[in-house]
Amino acid sequence: MLVRLDAVFEIALGIAVLIATASGALGSDDFPRPVGTVVLFIVGAALVLLGVLIWLGRMGLRELALGNAVSAIAGLVWLAAVSGFSSTGFAFVAATVAGLACLAAAQAATLRA
């Protein structure tokens, strides 16, 4: 169940990035350089692809837990160490970090059980 939840999270996040970028709700002004519209489209598409691969069982729970934990930590470091986020960009990354951290914690707890 946690694997499927992770897949849904990645796909939903990717679609949200794609829609927000296409509509202009997220763009170059919301993130520090070099993140721009093209990078956001690439990230959105990559997240959808990652979610599909997870859904198809191409990654195990241990790998997902580690990947989510590393991504959450990287996101926190990015938010803390780099300036240039708009309030929208900051909130988007912070919400993503929170989601990844929750997934990583639940997955790690399942692995220990």
pLDDT of 60 higher than 80: yes
CA dist 86 and 27 (Å) reads 10
Identify the H or E element spanning 70: helix 61-81
| Cβ contact 31:85 at 8 Å | yes
pTM of the prediction? 0.92
Cα separation values, 30 from 7, 35, 37, 108, Å: 26, 9, 10, 32
**pLDDT attached to residue 50:** 97
pLDDT in tens, 94-110: 999 999 999 999 999 99
What b/e sequence results for 46-63 when a residue is b if at least 16 CB atoms lie within 10 Å of its CB, and e otherwise? ebbebbeebbeeebeeee
Domain ranges (residues) in the chain: 2-112
Residue 87: count other Cβ atoms within 10 Å of its Cβ: 8
DSSP state of 84: -
